[in-house]
A and B are shown apart, each in its own frame.
Chain A
Amino acid sequence: MQQSLQSPAFNVLWLQGASCGGCTMAVLESGHSGWFDELRSFGIRLIWHPSVSEATGAEVVAILDKVRARSIRLDALILEGSVLRGPHGSGRFNMFAGTGKSIYHWVAELAAVADYVVSVGSCAAYGGIPAAGINPTDATGLQFDGTAPGGALGEAFRSGRGLPVINIAGCAPHPGWIMETLIALSTGDLAGNDLDQVGRPKFIANHLAHHACSRNEFYEFKASAEKLSERGCLMEHLGCKATQAVGDCNQRSWNGGGSCTKGGYACISCTSPGFESSRHFLETSKLAGIPVGLPLDMPKAWFVALSALSKSATPKRVRSNATSDHIVVPPSRDGSKKIP
C-alpha cells in the first residue's frame, strides 16, 4: 500500500470488443475486499473500464483522445472480446458508440501507444466464440486468428515494451489469471520469455487442466463415467480434453471450490485457440474405440497398453463409483474389517 502511494500508478485502459462481458464478471470476483481495493493496493489505476468507471459518453472520448496524444500514459491496453472486422473490413458489426469508429479501428490506434497490450479471454486472444461456425462477422483475436498468427494487429506487432500481445486465454478466464498477469506486468515481472508460443503466460500454460483433477483416481484406472453426472473419468466417453488443455484450472478453485470437471462436465479446452470449432463438446471422438485426443505427450501405443493394464487392475470400489452419481462403495481394506 505504502509503495503504491509513492510510485506512479500503472495505467490500465480496458475496452470491450465483441464480448459477452464474462471476463469482467469473472474479475469482479477477485480480491479479498473486492476488485477495486485489490487494484488500488497494487497501484493499478483504471483509466477507464466500460462496466465500472464513472466517465461516460463525451467524457470517455476526451480520455481516449488524451491517451492517443500520449498526454495520459498507457501502461496496458486490455481488450475483452473479439475484434470484428466485418462487414467487408469496415468493423461496423462493432462500433464504439458515440465515436463513429469501430472497435477494430480503436484498438489499432490505442495499441500503438500502449506499453503492453493484453487480451483478456479467448475471444480477444484468438477470436473465440464469435469466430465459430461461418464466423459471420469476420471475428478475430488481436494477434491470432485461431491458431494462425496475424489477427487484428498483425504478426509483427510489438507493444511499447517490445512484447507481443499477452493472451490471458480462457472462456471466461479464472479471475486469478487476469489479476496475476496484470500485477506481474505492473511490477515489471513478466517478460517475453514468460509467454508460450501463442502468447499465454507460462505460469498458467505450463500446466494442464487435468493436473489435480478430483477424478484423478478414475483416470488412473480408466474407470469412466458413461453418462452425465456420474463420478468417473470424463475422458473416455464424455468429451473431456483436460489432458490436452493448458491451464492450472484444477489447481485453483473456481467460485470458491469448483472447476468444470468438478462440476460434472468435460473440459472443452477453452484456453486453446479454435476451441469453439469443436462439435459434440460432451462426447469423445474415437477411432476404433480409442479416443482421438490422447494426453498431449503420450504415444498412442503406450496409452492403449496402459489403459488395458489399468482397467484390468481397477478396484471394485473405483469401477462401481465411476458409473454412479454418488459414492456407492466407500474406501475399505479388501477382505478385512480394518478401518482405513
Chain B
Amino acid sequence: MTRIIIGPFNRVEGDLEVKLDIEDGMVASAEVTVPLYRGFEQILDGRPALDALALAPRICGICSVSQSIAAVAALRGTLGIEPAPNGVLAANIAHAAENAADHLTHFYIFFMPDFARDAYASAPWHHAAAERFTATRGSAGREVLPARARLLEIMGIVAGKWPHSLAFQPGGTTRAIDLGERIRLLSIVAGFRSFLETVVFGDRLDAVLAIQTIAEFDRWRDGRAGDFCRFLAIADALQLDRLGNGPGILMSFGAYHGEHGALFARGVFDQASGGAALATTDIAEDVSHAWMRDGATDPALSTTIPDADKPGAYSWAKAPRLNGRPAEVGALARQAVAGNPLLRELVGQSGSNIRNRVIARMIETAHLAVAMESWIRALRLNEPFCADVRQPGEGRAAGLVEAARGSLGHWIELSNGKISHYQIIAPTTWNFSPRDAAGQPGPLEHALVGTAVGSDGAGSVAVQHVVRSFDPCMVCTAH
C-alpha cells in the first residue's frame, strides 16, 4: 500500500487536499482535508441580528446569493413573518441566475478542461475536446464567459451587484422593478436561453425538458451537436457512469419557494428505497475527525470552536450526518428528490456518479432558464417588493435552502436583537465531510474508493474527475 497526497487541488472553489491509499493501482481508502478555516460562526457571535446579511454572504463568492437567502430565511423564521410576494420572486430570479451561472462555470471552467489534458492525447475525441475545452485557451471560453457575464446582469437590476449584495432582506428585496427593467430582465434571460439552445444543448429547451426516460434521452442525444452531447460522448468512452459512486442517499432542502410551494421539493431519495420525507431533526454534526472541539451535535445548539492539535482529526470540516449516515447533496440530489423522471431513472440504473451529476446540472440549468422567465412575468409591478417588518429580536430558527452545490443550512438564535448562536452547514460540508465517530467516510471519500489510478499515482486524471464532479465549494465547507 502506498499513500499519495494531492494538492493544491484547483479548479474547485477554494483549495483541498486529498490523501489516497493505493493498493494494486486502485484507491483503497481516501481522506479529504479542508485546509481553510475562517470562523464565520465565531465572527457572527454577538453581532446585531441583521449584520448576518452583510457578513454571511461573504462566506462564499460563488454562492453569495444562496448564503444571503439562507440567512434571510433564518431571520424570517425568528420573526415569523411573510415577505412581499414580489420580493420572493425577485430573490428567486437572482438565486436562479447565480445557480445557473455556477453550473456553467463548473462545466466549462472547472470540469471539462481535464478532458483536454495530454493524458488523453491518444483518445479519438481528444483533439476536439482540447480545441474546445483546454483551460483558459479553449474556444468555449470566448462564448461562455460573455454569456455568464450577461446572465449575471440580472444581478445589476435585482441586487445591485454580484457577488455580495444586501438586497435580500427579511421583508423581501430592496429594489422595486419597473416595466423597463422587467423587459430588460426578460431580454437577458432570452439571451441566456439562446446560448443554452445553440451552444450547450443544440436543441430547444422545451425539447430538452420533455425528455422523460433514458430511452428518450438516448434517442435525443444521438448525433446531436452542442457541448452537453460532447460531454456525453466522452462520458461513454471513459465509462464515467461507473466512476465516483456516492454513498446512495441523496438529500435536498427544496429550492425556489413561492406562493405555490417549492419549484424543487424537499426530501430524501434513497437509491435502495426511493423517495422519502426529510426530517431536519435527523441532521447532526460529528466532529470526531475535525479540528473542532466536541459539543452538541444538533446544529441548532452546536458550537464551532477550533482545536488545531486534536488527535485523530484531519480536516477543518465537520461531518454532518442524516440519521447517522452520510448524504450526498447537489443538483443530482435536488432533481432526484424533486422527482425528475429522467434523473430518477438514471440514478436507478447507475447510481450517483460522475456522468449523472453532470447531466443533472445541465438539465437543471434548462429548468432554471424557463423558471426565471415565468418569475419575471409574474412580478406585479405596482405592488411592494419589501414588506415593512420589525427588527428581529428573539427566537431560534433555521434557514434551509439549496445552493447550486446542494443543501445549505443556517441555524440562528437571537437574544435581545443580537446573534447568540449561529451554525452553518454548507453543501460541500456534506459532500466532502471527513469520517465520523463510526468510521464512516464522507461521500467523496466513499466515491474515490475503487478508482483505478494505475501507475499515474497522484497524477491520476480519474481522481480529478471524481473530485470535480461534485462541484465542491471548499471556501463554504468549513467557512
Which A residues have a C-beta under 8 Å from some C-beta of B? 16, 18-26, 28-37, 39, 46, 48-58, 60-61, 82, 84, 87, 90, 92-99, 129-130, 132-137, 139, 171-172, 227-229, 253-266, 268, 270, 276, 279-282, 325-326
Contacts and interface: CB of A to CB of B under 8 A. Distances in A.
A48 B38 CA distance: 24
Q: Which 3 A-B pairs have the closest CB atoms?
A: A263-B160, A22-B61, A98-B7
Interface centre among A48, A97, A261 (most CB of B within 10 A): A97
B35 A36 contact: no
A282 B162 CA distance: 18
A263 B38 contact: no
B160 A260 contact: yes
B17 A98 contact: yes
26 contacts: A21-B62, A29-B148, A29-B149, A30-B149, A34-B141, A34-B144, A50-B14, A55-B10, A57-B8, A57-B9, A57-B458, A58-B6, A94-B37, A97-B7, A99-B8, A129-B55, A129-B58, A133-B47, A136-B38, A136-B43, A229-B173, A229-B385, A256-B157, A257-B153, A260-B165, A326-B178
A239 to B, nearest CB: 9
B145 A265 contact: no
Contacts of B388: 227
B264 interface: no
A35 B136 CA distance: 9
A282 B188 CA distance: 30
B7 A99 contact: yes
Contacts of B258: none
A88 to B, nearest CB: 8
Interface of B: 5-11, 13-17, 33, 35-39, 42-48, 50-51, 53-55, 58-62, 64, 105, 109-110, 113-114, 116-117, 134-137, 141-146, 148-150, 152-167, 169, 171-176, 178, 188, 306, 308, 316, 381-382, 384-386, 388, 458-459, 464, 475
Contacts of A82: 38
Nearest to A25: B61
B8 A137 contact: no
Contacts of B58: 20, 22, 129, 171
Contact of A258 (B36, B46, B61, B157): B157
Interface centre among A39, A55, A255 (most CB of B within 10 A): A255
Q: Is the interface of A mostly helix, strand, loop or mixed?
A: loop
A136 B385 contact: no
A227 B6 contact: no
B35 to A, nearest CB: 4
A36 B161 contact: no
A84 B167 CA distance: 30
Contacts of B54: 268, 281
A264 B9 CA distance: 39
A262 B166 CA distance: 11
Contacts of A53: 10-11, 135-136
B308 to A, nearest CB: 5
Contacts of A326: 176, 178, 381-382
B61 A257 contact: no
B165 A265 contact: yes
Interface centre among A92, A136, A139, A171 (most CB of B within 10 A): A136
Contacts of A31: 145-146
Contact of A255 (B5, B45, B162): B162
Given A29-B148, A34-B145, A325 B153 contact: no
A49 B153 CA distance: 25
B146 A33 contact: yes
A34 B146 contact: yes
Contact of B51 (A36, A254, A263, A281): A281
Nearest to B162: A255
Given A52-B136, A54-B113, A263-B159, A21 B14 contact: yes
Contacts of B7: 57, 96-99
A263 B94 CA distance: 12
B310 to A, nearest CB: 12
A276 B47 CA distance: 12
B160 A34 contact: no
B8 A97 contact: yes
Given A54-B113, A137-B38, 6 more contacts: A22-B62, A34-B145, A56-B9, A97-B15, A255-B161, A256-B153
B174 A21 contact: no
Contacts of B10: 48-51, 53, 55-56, 60
Contacts of A24: 61
B141 A37 contact: yes
B110 A93 contact: no
Nearest to A128: B58
Given A171-B58, A264-B167, A132 B43 contact: yes
Given A50-B10, A56-B8, A36 B48 contact: no
Contact of A21 (B13, B173, B464): B13
B9 A325 contact: no
A222 to B, nearest CB: 20
Contacts of A23: 61
B43 A92 contact: no
Contact of A16 (B15, B38, B43, B176): B15
A266 to B, nearest CB: 7
Nearest to A261: B160
A171 B165 CA distance: 10
A263 B46 contact: no
Contacts of A95: 17, 35-36
A325 B164 contact: no
B471 to A, nearest CB: 12
B61 A20 contact: yes
A251 to B, nearest CB: 14
Nearest to A26: B163
B428 to A, nearest CB: 12
Contacts of B105: 28
A136 B6 contact: no
A85 B335 CA distance: 42
A125 B289 CA distance: 33
Nearest to A100: B5
A184 B105 CA distance: 28
Contacts of A92: 308
Contact of B43 (A130, A171, A260): A130
Contact of B36 (A39, A46, A94, A325): A94
A97 B16 contact: yes
A170 B43 CA distance: 20
B43 A133 contact: yes
